[in-house]
Amino acid sequence: MSTVAETVRPSPGPSPDREVPPGTRTPPGPARRTRSPRTWLQGGGLSSLLFALPLLLVFGIFSWWPIISAVVMSFQKTNLIDPAQWVGLDNFRAVISDPLMPRVVANTAWFALLALVLGYPVPLIGAVLMSELRRRRGLYSVLAYLPVVVPPVVAVLLWKFFYDPGPAGVFNTILGWVGIGPVGWLNSQTMAMPSLVLEATWAAAGGTVIIYLAALVAVPPELYDAAEVDGASVWGKIWHVTLPQLRGVLFITLILQIIGTAQVFLEPFLFTNGGPNHATETIMLRVYNLAFTTLGSNFGQATALSLLLAVFLAVLSIIYFRLTRSWSQS
């Protein structure tokens, strides 16, 4: 890094003898460019480097290098003990031909879809209602945000108790009041996934509400006045002004939610550990099982799968932004 800085750093300022702090916006001195280490030092090159050091070290070791090494590992057979072996595309082949893979992908897609159906409209309706409050909006937002601050492990363990399949379980008691009889929740292959999604939505919706509220404040009030002059009703204003104005935020939260739910791990891991009969095993849980449970311990395959997921999400986001670009700006 330092060599780059030495060669391109311009002469720092009008008086090269005095220590001139870097980044000064004084116009660069007359066309005299001595690119010696000495001028670099005097120009504050060293202090810039010192300040960048924590970032360079931490990002270098814990962010940039792991990203590169993920690509490398996906072509290797490696388990941390034996020396790594190059195996070409074998990991990818193994991952794709894994008999569990269609199930796992379908489960993840099912989770993402349910989370969208359940978790996308609810915060929007809540936020639109809340932004019309004339008083105590703070109270409403605090209440809505409360579940977000509950630690996820706590939320899952608590809800796991709520989902007790016996007739005395919390949710089954409530359903019992209206005469619906005990549901299997996490023990049932069909109900397990919706149960997970319900908890995940509970834990995340508050954050989305706050984002929408911030976006609603930014809607120019003149638009409402104009709509009113044109005789729009309240619903007309919401439909023709509020929602179109929220488009940009709605598009972003949609793709962020898909990216987030595609990597869901905590709920399936803690609620059901993938069961019953693999009904809730998601891609991330599969990555975890490949890498860290004793039968797998196959880091190469796990990395290959995680890379495939990342590439899929990247392609999806690019297509998504291409498609929505024309709608979200205007």
Partner 1 sequence: MTTVREQTAPALQTLPGPRGLRARLARRRGQGDEPEQRRVLSSSDWRRPAVKWVWRAMHFLLLLLLLVCCVGPIFLLVKFAFTPTQDIQATPLKFFPNGWTLDNITMAWTRYRIGKYFLNTVWVALGSWFCQVLVATTGGYVLSVLRPRWAKALNWAVLTTLFVPAVVLLIPLYKIIVNPPIGDSLINNYFAVWLPAGASAFDVVLVARFFDSLPREVFEAARVDGAGPFRVFWSIVLPMSRPIIGVVSVFAVIASWKDFLWPFLVLQSDTVKPLSVYLQSMANVDKGTLMAALAISTSIPIVMFLLFQRMFLSGAGTGGAVKG
Q: How far apart are the first and last CA of the chain?
A: 42
For the bound state, the minimum distance from the C-beta of residue 259 to partner 1, rounded and expressed in Å, comes to: 6
Judged on CB neighbours under 10 Å (0-12, 13-18, 19+), 315 is exposed
Maximum CA extent, the chain: 88
For the bound state, the minimum distance from the C-beta of residue 106 to partner 1, rounded and expressed in Å, comes to: 18
Residue in the structure block whose two tokens are 């105590």: 136
Q: Which residue's CB is nearer to partner 1, number 67 or number 190?
A: 67
Listed in sequence order, the residues at least 6 apart from 117 whose beta carbon sits closer than 8 Å to its beta carbon are none
Distance CA 134, CA 196 (A): 35
Q: Which residue's CB is nearer to partner 1, number 193 or number 309?
A: 309
- Whole-number Cα distances in Å, 303 to 72, 73, 86, 106: 9, 7, 14, 20
For the bound state, the minimum distance from the C-beta of residue 250 to partner 1, rounded and expressed in Å, comes to: 12
In 61-112 the beta strands, taken as DSSP E runs, fall at: 76-77, 85-86
Residue in 249, 212, 252, 261 with CA at minimum distance from that of residue 114? 261
Q: Which residue's CB is nearer to partner 1, number 110 or number 162?
A: 162
Q: Which residue's CB is nearer to partner 1, number 190 or number 235?
A: 235
Residue in 31, 30, 12, 32 with CA at minimum distance from that of residue 22? 12
For the bound state, the minimum distance from the C-beta of residue 47 to partner 1, rounded and expressed in Å, comes to: 4
Q: Which residue's CB is nearer to partner 1, number 9 or number 190?
A: 9
Distance CA 305, CA 307 (A): 5
For the bound state, the minimum distance from the C-beta of residue 143 to partner 1, rounded and expressed in Å, comes to: 4
For the bound state, the minimum distance from the C-beta of residue 120 to partner 1, rounded and expressed in Å, comes to: 13
Asked if 84 and 77 touch (Cβ cutoff 8 Å), the reply is yes
Q: Which residue's CB is nearer to partner 1, number 21 or number 102?
A: 21
Q: Which residue's CB is nearer to partner 1, number 18 or number 190?
A: 18
Listed in sequence order, the residues at least 6 apart from 145 whose beta carbon sits closer than 8 Å to its beta carbon are 206, 207, 209, 210
Q: Which residue's CB is nearer to partner 1, number 61 or number 190?
A: 61
Judged on CB neighbours under 10 Å (0-12, 13-18, 19+), 242 is buried
Token pair, residue 218, equals: 């930014």
